[in-house]
Structure 1
Amino acid sequence: MPRSPLAPILQLGLITPARPARPTMNTSPRLRSLWPLLCSAPALLLPTLAQAQSPAPAPAGRSLVALYDAPTITRRCTAELKATRTAIAAMEKGRDPARLLADFNRLQLRSASFGNPVYLLANVSPSKTVRDAAQACVEKLSPLSTELYQSVPLYRRVQALQPADAVDARYREELLENFEDSGASLPADKRARAKAISDELEVLGLAFQKAVNEDPSTVTITVAEAAGLPEAWLKERKRDAEGRLVLGMDYPTVVPFLTNASNEEARRKLWTMFQNQGGEANLQRLDRALKLRHELAQLHGQPDYATMVLKRRMAQTPQAVEDFLQGVRKALDAGELRELAELRAEKAAQLGLPLEQVQVQRWDTSFLQERLKRSRYAVDQEKLRAYFPTDASVAFAIRLAERLYGVRFVAAKVPVWHPEVRYYDVFEADGKTFVGSVYLDLFPREGKYNHAAAFGVVPGSSLAKLRPASVLVTNFNRQGLDHNELETLLHEFGHVLHGVFSQTRYADQAGTSVKRDFVEAPSQMFEEWARRPETLAVLAEVCKDCPRLSAEQLQQLDRARTFGRAMRYSRQWQYASYDMALHTGTPKPALATWVALEKSLPLGYVEGTRFPAGFGHLMGGYGAGYYGYLWSEVMALDMLSAFQGRLMDPAVGRRYRELILSRGGEVPPQAMVEAFLGRKPGTEAFFREIAGQR
């Protein structure tokens, strides 16, 4: 679907969803947060709001998130709808080709200035009234995207345009793709049907995510059933009148429980609830969306949805994706079976039963892997929280960015939607040249987006002299991060930096507005900075009192990280294969397709679960695109080689910022990576990684 300047959720553009949704606990967790730890926390060098404020007056080009109340959202929504349609009509009547691309840019920025904050509030506002009003407004605005790109007069104007340079030529090409994918080149009757389909898909996607965010399901267990969980975790959980623990589906609850709870039945109950997130209604929404996408592809003369969308991505064709996934599967088979055998042996030893009487269940995998990591490598993820206090970890991420990319983060006091949200102005190292704005909203709360994501609320544009603003949204443990969560922090912070460092001429190409199968690459690469001794040493610069990991501990941590690698990648392969199965050929029932796939795999399918009901990626821009997480990692690991083991080399970092992060979608990903590496990108590093040979 086209990357649109008008629909705030935009299938391809202004929000980058969390890296794999972490819908099951068979993959390592990736989601968490920030806010000063209490008085007993280690002393940090990160300035508090009272200690370091952005210089007054506010930097030129700074754009803040508008904090609308519900009545204002409702009132302005109607006005914005009318004003945008008026602007489109004026563009249709325009006669000056020299102004056309600038007019599109103004339209993008106009829409973003209202629609993006509203979409953000729909996902993070503490007020359900505001969230509901924002959701209703996003639904009301969503048809504008198709209206714009179905405009035949505008389509013809763009066709006739003679671009002034390579940047204009690429923007023109992308606009034409948007028009064609929306149906501007179709006969009137098919064009009308394409619009109706696109509008309904927008509404379905919003409703799907809302059902996940606001799922009220809980599991009640006794304190005894939570044996294995640390005291700090127990203290933070809700209790019922009888003192039992009431567990919801936020990640600081689910991940530690499935990793540490020794009671298998309790793990099964929580895991099963988590697998049913979103409910039956979401399965119906997904099935409806699959039928609509197939019909849309047929209107465009394509055999299926995957064929239609992949022609706009690096992979180009479903066959290329299928070949890639087959290569991944082949590389993982032996390793996955070996790892499962190790888990089975561990479970048998714990239960004191013969091996043939023991089966590993899906709710066992995180728990058993953690036990083996502790026994083999002396790595306890819960104990690692003492080494990575949440606030210190955020300061660490910021310091890495400052050192590597030559910038400076300065805390500033601005209006925010929740007291725990922080704001930073980002400057060049000289402290004078303003780069962009960063918000951090890091802890779970009721009704909030419940994974991790970078929301690009203001797309930068050099033409408009507007600097970008990004919001990091996570659901972290307030007491500290385990190592998996530290990787998540850097991953999502990488998306934020991709947005903030953008220097593109046009807003519609800013930041993470790149091809879907490349968008994860910069963030996946940045995860490596959470693993190396020379980069983790930077933590000492921002937290003098934090305990230090010894060289031996770091070595053991790296070994523990690679343990279970085949199973983690296999799960990603499963998500990608499932996604492609749904979007190639004729539409298939979402749940039945998932069940058949799971039954073909070693761990099998658990009756009564409906994972697809909570698989937000399928409804949030990753339809026929989940393979992109693996495809992007090919690029990420190849780009990492340019640092040649010197991850804190500022010369390479600034070159990377200039050639990759600042260019957004102005340059095709293949060309960007080739320019950065000085050669064509390859797959060798990726396949060494998944085979455990790096």
Structure 2
Amino acid sequence: MPQPTDFPVDATAWSAFLATSVDAGLETGRELIARLKDGSPRSTAEVLALWNDTDIAIGTASARAHLFAEVHPDAAVREAAEASAQAAEDLLTERGLDHELWQVVAATDDAGLDADAARVREHVLRDFRRAGVDRSPEERERLRALAQRCTEIGLEFSRNIRDGVRTVRLRPEQLAGLPDDFVAAHPAGDDGLVALTTEYPDMVPFRTYATDAEARLALTREYLQLAYPANEPLLAELLALRAQRAQLLGYADWPTYDTEPKMIGTGAAIAEFIERLDGLTAEPARRDVEQMLARFRQDDPSVQAVTSADNLYYDQVIRREDYDVDSQAVRQYFSYPAVRDGVLATIGTLFDLTFAPVHAPTWHDDVAVYDVTDSGERIGRIYLDMHPRAGKFNHAAQFSLTPGIAGHALPEGVLVCNFPTGLMEHDDVVTFFHEFGHLVHEILGGHQAWAMFTGVATEWDFVEAPSQLLEEWAWDTGVLQSFAKNEAGEPIPADLVARMRRADTFARGAWTRRQLNFTALSYGLHADAPADLAAYTAAVDERFGPYAPIPGTHQYAGFGHLEGYGSAYYTYLWSLVIAKDLRSAFGDDLMNPVVGRRYRDAILAPGGSADAADLVERFLGRPTAFEPFESWLAEGA
């Protein structure tokens, strides 16, 4: 029976832990690759089994290295893990360009293979081709060098964002409008000023509630300067190198190369998707921003535009005044411990799972551990690392710790967020459900025989859809009333949830338009890398807005998705279209156990063992449709 990971109890033992659980895995991967090339006669099934073993060894080592580079509290451990992550990526690059290894796999055939094994063989050969294994030795060496340098840049780019937290110091009166618990948690220092950082638990509440527009602007400007200027030359180099890689491989540009194995299929299809959404969102976004600007001018008649320093504030002002939803009143129902327990209970009921707390050592005392059981059998383990600290990944994401393999390894996933320890915004609750969607996908999909298909290993532009679907549960009255209670133990009123849902239709056009801005920036930078990143970003802002840019900022330097998602930020809107269609299957009862189980079995449990379009069609009984997304968008008109 596979067992979960044992972590060191002694902080000094982490170097040895990385050596045995990460570096040793990479060495095993190298040994298995050598075995595949040793000339021994092997059947196709035997070749693929050895290949799968290399995937398991390298994939597990890589997952752990990338995780600990982002979350370990010891900078020396983070640095060592980052070096191991680089080594893992380099090994995968070398494997993909190994001409002799390719010949071993190419000499096999799919006669007698079952469907999963045949799919593995097909994908391996596809990935060899996409790596450039059939190119000349000189071209392969150039491709290897380019890929290795891209990995180096990517790690440094992410590190600069993670470590680049900025601080502003404000007068205490500039915290006017903030909730009492926020003010109490931010006392003035010896200089009489209050320090606020660009970390989410400071930045989001401040931008949402601070009445002082200049103070909001000061903190937002710092946030939009994250990792600048360090990341500007890195991003420019990364874009150029990706373009070179694509062209060496015979593709017109990086998006054309990158989309080949994704649902969308072609780079040109991203451009078409952007144009379609442009037509749907331009007018609704314009109306939303005009309404914000009109309300802003009631406070300051001289103001000329709404920027990203203002939109969160006036969004909640309008929701309070026009929809009778006071965000600060809503907060009282969402304490972190209750939200955590509520999310676990909701997902457990929906998917017939149990989350049992476990007392076990981890990398930090803040981390909570749960075994995931199904009918009394442990099927995975999850880790919740949910609060900010120095040197930690400063957004919200799910990381794999141990990719699950049937009969070999228990799937283990880690939720890494930056939530407050006390009262949460409802937006935080939505994010919790979203990220937990990735986590439960990691566990339920983590029981494949083939490492290539385990966990969330679907097409990358589908991977957000299950998480975006789970956001719906954060808006359901029955779900919220099961855990959202104030200090007196009173559940959130049903009429308040109804008003929250109505208020959520406001600024839907502007929100979607802002996502479209990021989508166009991500795609455009990669389709034709500009000489001037700032000027190109300004041009995208000019077209898509929806908010006026803040002069002198460089938000692309802190746009972490440009490293991880590359040209594929469109994934969020593409997946949202699918998620809104998946939502239609639940009708009026999100907690319907029959539909929940069918969704679990059809969408989550298969992992990447089938094309995402086929998984969706199995669940819906038809191909996915665009109309539910259009209807959702129109609700805000």
Shared fold per TM-score greater than 0.5: yes
**Cross-structure match for 1:384:** 330
* 2:159 pairs with 1:195: no
* 2:218 pairs with 1:273: no
Which gives a bigger RCO, structure 1 or 2 (Cα 8 Å, sep 6+)?
Answer: 1
**Cross-structure match for 2:392:** 448
SS in 2 for 1:410: strand
Q: Bigger CA drift: 243-252 or 107-116?
A: 107-116
* 2:351 pairs with 1:410: no
Q: Which amino acid aligns with 1:536?
A: L
SS in 2 for 1:174: helix
Pair 543,219 (structure 1): closer, same or farther in 2 beyond 3 Å: closer
2:254 to 299, 305, 308: 305
2:569 to 604, 626, 629: 626
Instruction: Answer whether contact 2:28 2:54 (CA < 8 A) is retained.
Output: no
**Cross-structure match for 2:480:** 536
* 2:35 pairs with 1:90: yes
Which aligned pairs between 1:103-182 and structure 2 lie closer than 5 A? Answer: 103-163=50-110, 164-182=113-131
Deviation digits for residues 406-429 of structure 1, max 9, x if unmatched? 11111111111111111111111x
Instruction: Answer whether contact 1:453 1:472 (CA < 8 A) is retained.
Output: yes
* 2:482 pairs with 1:482: no
* 2:135 pairs with 1:186: yes
Pair 75,649 (structure 1): closer, same or farther in 2 beyond 3 Å: closer
Tell me the TM-score normalised to structure 1 length.
0.87
Instruction: Answer whether contact 1:412 1:423 (CA < 8 A) is retained.
Output: yes
Q: Which amino acid aligns with 1:368?
A: Y
What's the offset of the Cα at 1:156?
2.2
**Cross-structure match for 1:72:** 16
**Cross-structure match for 2:313:** 367
Q: Bigger CA drift: 131-140 or 596-605?
A: 596-605
Instruction: Answer whether contact 2:32 2:53 (CA < 8 A) is retained.
Output: no
Q: Distance in 1 between matches of 2:115 and 2:588?
A: 34
Q: Which amino acid aligns with 2:455?
A: G
**Cross-structure match for 1:639:** 582
Q: Which amino acid aligns with 1:393?
A: V
Q: Which amino acid aligns with 1:383?
A: A
Q: Which runs of 5 or more structure 2 residues have no equivalent in the other structure?
A: none
What's the offset of the Cα at 1:123?
0.7
Deviation digits for residues 596-643 of structure 1, max 9, x if unmatched? 2113335333221000100111101x1121001111111111111111
Q: Which amino acid aligns with 1:105?
A: N
Pair 263,401 (structure 1): closer, same or farther in 2 beyond 3 Å: same
* 2:378 pairs with 1:437: no
Instruction: Answer whether contact 2:514 2:546 (CA < 8 A) is retained.
Output: no
Pair 361,78 (structure 1): closer, same or farther in 2 beyond 3 Å: closer
Instruction: Answer whether contact 2:255 2:267 (CA < 8 A) is retained.
Output: yes
Structure whose residues are more often helix by fraction:
2
Which aligned pairs between 1:203-602 and structure 2 lie closer than 5 A? Answer: 203-237=152-186, 239-351=188-300, 353=301, 358-428=304-374, 430-431=375-376, 433-462=377-406, 464-502=407-445, 503-539=447-483, 546-585=489-528, 588-600=531-543, 601=545
Q: Distance in 2 between matches of 1:587 and 1:174?
A: 33
Pair 416,543 (structure 1): closer, same or farther in 2 beyond 3 Å: farther
**Cross-structure match for 1:61:** 2
Pair 481,65 (structure 1): closer, same or farther in 2 beyond 3 Å: farther
What's the offset of the Cα at 1:187?
1.3
What's the offset of the Cα at 1:61?
2.0
Q: Bigger CA drift: 61-70 or 135-144?
A: 61-70
Q: Bigger CA drift: 282-291 or 154-163?
A: 154-163
Pair 193,587 (structure 1): closer, same or farther in 2 beyond 3 Å: farther
Q: Which amino acid aligns with 1:380?
A: D
What's the offset of the Cα at 1:79?
5.2
Q: Which amino acid aligns with 2:566?
A: G
What's the offset of the Cα at 1:530?
0.7
Pair 427,543 (structure 1): closer, same or farther in 2 beyond 3 Å: farther
Q: Distance in 2 between matches of 1:66 and 1:101?
A: 32
What's the offset of the Cα at 1:241?
2.2
Instruction: Answer whether contact 2:388 2:419 (CA < 8 A) is retained.
Output: yes
Instruction: Answer whether contact 1:294 1:587 (CA < 8 A) is retained.
Output: no
Q: Which amino acid aligns with 1:281?
A: A
Q: Bigger CA drift: 130-139 or 497-506?
A: 130-139
What's the offset of the Cα at 1:524?
0.2
For these two proteins, the number of residue pairs brought into alignment is 627
Q: Distance in 1 between matches of 2:165 and 2:581?
A: 42
SS in 1 for 2:373: strand
Deviation digits for residues 125-169 of structure 1, max 9, x if unmatched? 111121122122222332101111111222223223334111112
Q: Which amino acid aligns with 1:62?
A: Q
**Cross-structure match for 1:653:** 596
**Cross-structure match for 1:39:** none
Q: Which amino acid aligns with 1:119?
A: H
What's the offset of the Cα at 1:543?
9.5
What's the offset of the Cα at 1:661?
0.2
Task: Quote the RMSD (CA, aligned, Å).
Answer: 2.0
What's the offset of the Cα at 1:582?
1.1
Tell me the TM-score normalised to structure 2 length.
0.94
Q: Which amino acid aligns with 1:104?
A: W
Instruction: Answer whether contact 1:291 1:587 (CA < 8 A) is retained.
Output: no
Q: Bigger CA drift: 60-69 or 667-676?
A: 60-69
Q: Which amino acid aligns with 1:142?
A: E
SS in 1 for 2:230: helix
Pair 404,367 (structure 1): closer, same or farther in 2 beyond 3 Å: same
Q: Bigger CA drift: 160-169 or 331-340?
A: 160-169
Q: Which amino acid aligns with 2:79?
A: D
Q: Distance in 2 between matches of 1:121 and 1:477?
A: 22
Deviation digits for residues 419-467 of structure 1, max 9, x if unmatched? 1111111111x22x221111001001111100001001111112x4322
Instruction: Answer whether contact 1:384 1:481 (CA < 8 A) is retained.
Output: no
Q: Which amino acid aligns with 1:121?
A: F
Q: Which runs of 5 or more structure 1 residues have no equivalent in the other structure?
A: 1-59
Q: Which amino acid aligns with 1:264?
A: A
SS in 1 for 2:519: helix
Pair 79,651 (structure 1): closer, same or farther in 2 beyond 3 Å: closer
Instruction: Answer whether contact 1:159 1:176 (CA < 8 A) is retained.
Output: yes
Percent identity over the alignment is 32
Q: Distance in 2 between matches of 1:231 and 1:595?
A: 38
Instruction: Answer whether contact 1:283 1:591 (CA < 8 A) is retained.
Output: no
Q: Distance in 2 between matches of 1:212 and 1:334?
A: 34
Deviation digits for residues 634-668 of structure 1, max 9, x if unmatched? 11111111112221111111111111101111100
Q: Distance in 2 between matches of 1:246 and 1:628?
A: 36
Q: Distance in 1 between matches of 2:381 and 2:294?
A: 51
SS in 2 for 1:382: helix
Q: Which amino acid aligns with 1:470?
A: G
Q: Which amino acid aligns with 2:261?
A: R
**Cross-structure match for 1:100:** 47
Q: Which amino acid aligns with 1:64?
A: T
Deviation digits for residues 181-216 of structure 1, max 9, x if unmatched? 211121111111111111111111111111111114
Deviation digits for residues 318-339 of structure 1, max 9, x if unmatched? 2222222111111111111111
Q: Which amino acid aligns with 2:610?
A: V
